[in-house]
Structure 1
């Protein structure tokens, strides 16, 4: 099982590194597409297709068909969160001799997961009212995009720099902190109609009694099978598959029980 976990982690980390190096701005580009739509609506103009919307449309279609693999594998901001969290886990284990993975309670996570929907609504309303233009320099992902492009943000971005630092601190305290609680694109992805063939399901029939390893390991604290209300929260990190001792977790439509057995 540990060998399988290590293999999944290494493959995922390799893909994340490639996207981080070659396409770090995908997240901000995708939201720029959403922003352009609402800016056109606010200006009472016809929505014109642009390169930002190309990226947004592709990511939305891919998410609907295959799940949130962009979040789990391609988003540079998410990859940064994974790196900071894993570094914190390593320090806690090696320096402070604390075992296991740290994070918030399940109740707190359930509540905080709703914050990103409120934040998305605030951003969209601010765009429609013209208030968004006054937020220049306050965007943490604009600062992140500058840094990944090799440019240092100026004094005009000091608020954005502070917010980015605070988010990075949060990333050290909870796995996928930004993605679960604050990401506006994550909120959009989570409400998209995910194809049944893209959802994670578990065959409970051979699960060890009181195991729950998949739920304990899931950064979104999902009940892997049948949790339809929260299925959009899954970031397709495949951690549940890697930790399952019986290899009971699969992607796709649940297998139908053999009616002849009744």
Structure 2
């Protein structure tokens, strides 16, 4: 099982690294598409299709058909979060000799997951009211986009820089801190009607008694197919699938092999 976990981790890391190097602005581009719709509404102008909406539309369709694999594999900000968390985990294990993965209690995670919806509503409302322009220089993902483009943000972005630093600290304390709690585009993805064939399921009849490894390993504390109302919170990191000791988790409905033999 450890070999499979290592293989999946290496494949995922390679894909993340590729997107981080060649397409680091996908997240901000996708949200720019959403922003352009509300900017048109605020200006009482017709909504016109643009290149930002091309990216937004493609990612929304992919999310509906396949789940939030963009978040788990392609988002540069999410990949940065994974790197920060794994670095912290390595330091904890090698220097402080602390075993296991660290993070927040389930109740805290559930409460903080709602923050991204509040943030999304705040940003969209600020666009509609024309107040969004006053937020210039406060966006941590604008600072991140500049850094990945090889540009240093000037003094007007000092609030955005501070917020980015605070987010980086948060990434060290909880797996996928930004994606789960603060990402406005993640809130949009989480509200999408994801097809059942894109969700993770398990055959509970084959689960060992009092196992729960999949939920313990899931950064969102999901019960896999038991958390249907929260399925949008799944970032498709495949951690549950590779952790299962009986290979009992897969995307799409799980078929009982014993039934199939009959």
With the shorter chain as reference, the TM-score category is over 0.9
The answer to whether structure 1 residue 235 and structure 2 residue 211 are counterparts is: no
Q: What TM-score do the two structures reach when normalised by structure 1?
A: 0.97
Q: What is the deviation of 1:254?
A: 4.1
Q: Which residue of 1 aligns with 2:255?
A: 255
CA RMSD of aligned residues (A): 1.4
The yes-or-no answer on 1:93 pairing with 2:93 is yes
Name the CA distance, whole Å, in 2 between partners of 1:139 and 1:78: 16
Following the alignment from structure 2 to structure 1, what is the Cα–Cα distance between the partners of residues 46 and 121? 22
Task: Give 2:191's aligned residue.
Answer: 191
How much does 1:148 deviate? 0.2
| Structure 2: distance between partners of 1:62 and 1:204 | 28
Q: Whole-Å Cα distance in 2 between the matches of residues 104 and 197 of structure 1?
A: 30
Q: Matches of 1:206 and 1:53 in 2, distance apart?
A: 44
Number of matched pairs = 260
Return the alpha-carbon distance in structure 2 between the equivalents of residues 178 and 209 of structure 1: 33
SS at the partner of 2:201? Answer: strand
Q: Is there any run of 5+ residues in structure 1 with no aligned partner, and where?
A: none
Query: After the TM superposition, which segments of 4 or more aligned residues of structure 1 sit over 2 Å from their partners?
Result: 253-258
The alignment partner of 2:225 has SS state of coil
Structure 1: distance between partners of 2:156 and 2:204: 54
Map of 1:205 onto structure 2? 205
Segments of structure 2 that go 5 or more residues without pairing to the other structure are: none
**Whole-angstrom CA distance in 1 between matches of 2:189 and 2:248:** 26
- Aligned-pair distance for 1:94? 0.6
Superposition pairs of residues 17-166 of structure 1, within 5 angstroms: 17-166=17-166
Secondary structure of 1:250 counterpart: strand
Compute the displacement of 1:206 (Å).
1.5
TM, length-normalised to structure 2? 0.97
- State how far apart, in whole Å, the 1-side matches of 2:206 and 2:134 are: 57
Distance in 2 between residues matched to 1:175 and 1:58, nearest whole Å: 26
User: How big is the shift at 1:225?
Assistant: 1.4
